[in-house]
Amino acid sequence: MTRALLLLSLLVAMAPPAEAQSRRAPARPPGPRRVEVGVGGGVAGGLSLGTRDASLVSNNTAGSPFRLFATDTRLAPAPVIEGRVGYHVTRRLTVEGVMTVGRPELTTSLSGDAEGAPAVDATESVTEYVITGGALWRFATDARRWTPFVSGGAGVARHVHEDQSLIESGVDSYVGGGLIYPLGSSRASAPRSGLRLDARLHLLSGGIAEGAGLAPRGAITGSIFFTF
Amino acid sequence: MMRPVAAWLLALGLVVLGASPASAYLQLSLTLRGQVTVIKWNQTPVRWFSSRAEAPGVTAAQFQSAANAAFGTWEAVPAATIAFQYAGFTSATPSDDDDGLSVLGFESHPDMDRTLAATGFTIDLFSGAIVESDIFFNTAFDWSTSGAANAFDLQSVATHEIGHFLGLGHSALGETELQAGGGRRVIAAASVMFPIAFGRGITTDRVLQPDDIAGVSNTYPAGDFAQDTGALLGRVRLGGRGVFAAHVEAFNLRTGDLVGGFSLNQEGEFAIRGLSPGLYAVRVEPLDDASTDSFFDDPGTDVNFRATLSDRVVAVPKGGSSASIDVTVPSK
């Protein structure tokens, strides 16, 4: 996956500039750049997956729970890489698909054993793929300075466990915002390349978060993008 | 033509204040012609008879009704195919072994002052198939079908014994404490197949626990059970060697289901099958909540180690097995 994203970014970088093309064909002014491709990286925040007791049934008429041991499970913060493809519907509105890949550590703290077994943190690594579709709205159309935006969307989060024997899929939805900074610009169209900073709040339900309700987590990413 | 070789093989009892260890679900098995063979019914529905014997406070009709309800509890497990057919009252008794009739009923065994009930089998020693199973309920104790506070609940005890009737051994999913006068008192359990009964007036064992359901489903799997569930594999190690008969508990971090198993060879290897796919925490403990011989004939059961929580979270896949984990336990 990482290799595919790098290849895509190289292809975009090697494409001849649109300005040069227009010099070769002066009779045809360039159309608006509508397709945007971006790659970057960042950090996905931790995710609490809930607490649960391993319980027996007590020897009484109520059958009340007897705790054998307690568990507290969470997904640790982890670096992610991000790939993005967007389409500029208007100068302010972009629809886009985003894929992030990370490898967070899943940790379950085991404690409070009824027979005094020492508490431990049980761990495993999971590979996380989040694929979402969404929309982005720019608050300004001046392509020469930092431009704030808001975004939102939803998709699927897949978690592949350490030995690749178990794959869990849940629904990931997000809202966020950020800033876009042009590296090259034209008044007539979107910047031909630029930097983008994103801050998002993700809500995960189902999959690895099954039983934990709507599990929130933050994510911050930075990326470089190209339009053509 | 294969002639069943009858053997009065096993008698598994549910004890009160008795000495019996506990561990997660265990299928009864025999070594036949060098092969470990799980004993089970090969044909269903399994016909059973109710004896006409009565006990103080429990009529023959009430006994039959409670036993029928207990059979129904096992039959209702969706992932298991086992079915039963009530064949009527009989003058035969549970002690009439090898008569071709599977009989449940009261019997007086005042000498067995710690045994509430017991199940015996006749096994086809060629195939390992159960051909007859009988259960007696000891009238040395007080019984009730209504949950009366001063008597043992007949349906709860029948549910346990019918687990044996189906080929399940004892489960160790429970905690006990030593009694001042000897024997053990169960504090709590997570399996109907725990070998020590709850107290008088308690009816919670009328309901199967995940450990019981995994056991019967794995013994009599329905449809896609094997494809819909997975197995957790591993080894229990102590000082570089395997531990035999350690009790291994698998806890599903999402559902809260607790299912147990044992390390069943000298390498300390275990395989807990019939688990819902998902993430599991693993705990290992010695069989020290009852006498080890209620689980294994093998005298080599190792109980000289301490309870241990594994430092690995285990992913159990659908229709497959987890990667094998090693759990290293410290000696006592």
Mean pLDDT is lowest, of B29-33, B98-102, B199-203, for B29-33
Is B256:A210 a contact under the CB 8 Å cutoff? no
Mean pLDDT is lowest, of A172-186, B99-113, B185-199, B224-238, for A172-186
Taking the Cβ of residue A71 and every Cβ of chain B, the question of whether any pair is shorter than 8 Å is answered with yes
Is A173:A153 a contact under the CB 8 Å cutoff? yes
Q: Which of residues 178-237 of B touch A (CB under 8 A)?
A: 185-190, 198-199, 201-204, 209, 230
pLDDT of residue A190: 55
Q: Which residues of B5-16 are buried (b: 16+ CB within 10 A; e: fewer)?
A: ebeeebebbbbb
pLDDT of residue B297: 67
Distance (Å) of CA B198 to CA A109, B152, B191, B208 = 31, 8, 11, 14
pLDDT of residue A15: 38
pLDDT of residue B22: 27
The DSSP call for residue B204 is G
Mind listing the pLDDT tens digit for each residue in A43-100?
999 999 989 999 999 999 888 999 999 999 999 999 999 999 999 999 899 999 999 9
pTM: 0.82
- pLDDT band for position A23 (50/70/90)? very low
* Least Cα separation, residue B49 to chain A (angstroms): 31
Tokens of A14: 């090697």
pLDDT of residue A32: 66
Mean pLDDT is lowest, of A101-115, B12-26, B74-88, for B12-26
CB within 8 A of B208, min separation 6: which ones? Answer: B73, B74, B77, B159, B192, B216
Mutate to test the interface with B, among A49, A55, A68 (most CBs of B within 10 A): A68
Taking the Cβ of residue A161 and every Cβ of chain B, the question of whether any pair is shorter than 8 Å is answered with yes
Using a CB-CB distance cutoff of 8 angstroms, which residues of chain B are in contact with residue A211? Answer: 254-255
**How big is chain A, counted in residues?**
228
* Residues paired with residue B269 on neighbouring β-strands, in sequence order: B235
Mean pLDDT is lowest, of A17-31, A134-148, A176-190, B128-142, for A17-31
Task: Using alpha carbons, select from B175, B291, B305 the residue that is nearest to residue B244.
Answer: B305
**Dmax of chain B from CA atoms?**
57
Q: Nearest by CB to B189, from A56, A114, A124: name it.
A: A56
Q: Do B309 and A211 touch (CB under 8 A)?
A: no
Q: Does residue A30 have a cis peptide bond before it, meaning omega lies within 30 degrees of 0?
A: no
- pLDDT band for position B15 (50/70/90)? very low
* Least Cα separation, residue B198 to chain A (angstroms): 6
Q: Nearest by CB to B313, from A56, A69, A108: name it.
A: A108
Q: Nearest by CB to A116, from B186, B307, B313: name it.
A: B307
Q: Do A73 and B322 touch (CB under 8 A)?
A: no
Taking the Cβ of residue A52 and every Cβ of chain B, the question of whether any pair is shorter than 8 Å is answered with yes
- pLDDT band for position A143 (50/70/90)? low
Q: Do B283 and A113 touch (CB under 8 A)?
A: yes
Q: Which of residues 135-174 of B touch A (CB under 8 A)?
A: 173-174
List phi, psi (to 5°) of B228.
Answer: -90, -10
pLDDT of residue B78: 94
Residue B126 scores a pLDDT above 80: yes
Residue B301 scores a pLDDT above 90: no
- In chain A, whose CA is at the least distance from the CA of B254? A211
- pLDDT band for position A163 (50/70/90)? confident
Q: Nearest by CB to B315, from A110, A117, A166: name it.
A: A166
Q: Do B309 and A69 touch (CB under 8 A)?
A: yes
- Coil, strand or helix: which one is B303? coil
CB within 8 A of A83, min separation 6: which ones? Answer: A5, A8, A38, A39, A98, A99, A100
Mutate to test the interface with B, among A53, A55, A61 (most CBs of B within 10 A): A61
Mind listing the pLDDT tens digit for each residue in A171-227?
999 999 999 998 865 555 556 889 999 999 999 999 988 877 889 999 999 999 999
- pLDDT band for position B2 (50/70/90)? very low
pLDDT of residue A186: 55
- pLDDT band for position B290 (50/70/90)? low
Per-chain mean pLDDT for chain B: 88
CB atoms within 10 A of CB A7: 10
Q: At what angle do helices B154-165 and B210-219 cross, to 10 degrees?
A: 30
pLDDT of residue B98: 77
Is B152:B5 a contact under the CB 8 Å cutoff? no
pLDDT of residue A18: 38
Q: Which residues of A193-225 are buried (b: 16+ CB within 10 A; e: fewer)?
A: bbbbbbebebbbebbbbbbbeebebbbebebbb
Residue B26 scores a pLDDT above 90: no
Q: Which of residues 181-220 of A touch B (CB under 8 A)?
A: 210-211
Using a CB-CB distance cutoff of 8 angstroms, which residues of chain B are in contact with residue A116? Answer: 306-307
Residue B111 scores a pLDDT above 50: yes
Whether the CA torsion B11, B16, B17, B22 is positive or negative: it is positive
pLDDT of residue B300: 73
Is A84:A39 a contact under the CB 8 Å cutoff? yes
Taking the Cβ of residue A121 and every Cβ of chain B, the question of whether any pair is shorter than 8 Å is answered with yes
Q: What number is the ipTM of this complex?
A: 0.86
Q: Do B279 and A161 touch (CB under 8 A)?
A: yes
Q: Do B283 and A163 touch (CB under 8 A)?
A: no
Mean pLDDT is lowest, of B17-31, B62-76, B78-92, B134-148, for B17-31
Tokens of B143: 């019984």
Taking the Cβ of residue A113 and every Cβ of chain B, the question of whether any pair is shorter than 8 Å is answered with yes
Mind listing the pLDDT tens digit for each residue in B257-279?
999 999 988 899 999 999 999 99
Q: Nearest by CB to B309, from A52, A58, A117: name it.
A: A117
Which one is predicted more confidently, A21 or B279? B279
Residue B35 scores a pLDDT above 90: no
* Least Cα separation, residue B317 to chain A (angstroms): 5
Q: Residue B182 region, left (φ>0) first, then alpha (ψ -120 to 50), else beta? A: left
- Percentage of residues in chain B having pLDDT higher than 70: 89
Task: Using alpha carbons, select from A26, A25, A125 the residue that is nearest to residue A78.
Answer: A125
- pLDDT band for position A16 (50/70/90)? very low
Q: Residue B23 region, left (φ>0) first, then alpha (ψ -120 to 50), else beta? A: beta
Taking the Cβ of residue B315 and every Cβ of chain A, the question of whether any pair is shorter than 8 Å is answered with yes
Query: Stretch B151-165: mean pLDDT, rounded?
Result: 97
